Structure 1
Amino acid sequence: MNPFTLKVVQIIRSIPPGRVMTYGQVARLAGNPRAARQVARILHSLSRTEQLPWHRVLNAKGAISLEGEEQQLALEAEGVVFDRADKLSLSRYQV
């Protein structure tokens, strides 16, 4: 893994249950604020092998970008309440 990928993995692992980060926030903390899409690719390719809490990473609007209910159900199981069907309050849940 390259240094950016390692940092992204560390940051995502550090998100506590019931809290979220955005793709852009993870990218910024990992040292490349313009790499939100790269964070999404890292999540897609490494979530299972690295056992990442992928469900805790959302888009900049606090909405789920993926299809299906798995991400929302996982977050709700951690106590997150959605304002609408696919959106939550970043001011309340963002790390």
Structure 2
Amino acid sequence: MQVFTERAVKIIQEIPAGHVMTYGQVASAAGNPRGARQIARILHSMSAKYDLPWHRIINAQGGISTPSDREEKGSLQRDLLEAEGVGFMGNGKVDLTVYRWFPEEEFM
């Protein structure tokens, strides 16, 4: 596994319940500030194998990024986040000033 991928997996595994990170934030913390799409690929291909809390990763606007043909997954993601205590604003987005998690320096 590449160093970036290994770091990203570790960071995602460490996100505590009730908190979120953005794709770009994980990428930056893992060493590639422009690697947000790589985080999406990691989540898609490695979530089951590494038991990643994929639902805790959202977009930079605080929204759930789900392709229109997979709307049920977006609904599941929202349900999982709400079950952990993450609140959604009236516009359907998470307030990142409240729920965003910042990893410890060890990941940086």
Question: Would the TM-score normalized by the shorter structure come out above 0.5?
Answer: yes
CA deviations 1:26-57 (Å, max 9, x no partner) are 00000000000000000010001110000000
Distance apart, 1:85 and its partner CA: 5.8
**TM-score normalized by the length of structure 2:** 0.85
Aligned-pair identity (%): 57
Query: In structure 2, what is the Cα distance between the partners aligned to 1:85 and 1:48?
Result: 30
How many residues were matched structurally? 95
Q: Which residue of 1 aligns with 2:106?
A: none
Q: Structure 1: how far apart are the matches of 2:76 and 2:91? A: 13
CA distance in structure 2 between the aligned counterparts of 1:88 and 1:2, rounded to whole angstroms: 31
RMSD value over aligned CA atoms? Answer: 0.9
Tell which structure's C-alpha radius of gyration is larger: 2
Q: Which residue of 2 aligns with 1:76?
A: 82
Alpha-carbon separation, structure 1, partners of 2:93 and 2:51: 24
Answer 1 or 2: which has greater helix percent.
Answer: 2
The whole-number CA distance in structure 1 between the counterparts of 2:89 and 2:33 is: 27
Does structure 1 residue 92 correspond to structure 2 residue 94? no
Counterpart code for 2:15: I
1:51 and 1:74 map into 2 onto residues whose CA distance is: 15
Q: What are structure 1's unaligned runs of at least 5 residues?
A: none
Shift of 1:84: 3.0
Contact 1:72 / 1:86 at 8 angstroms: preserved in 2?
Answer: no
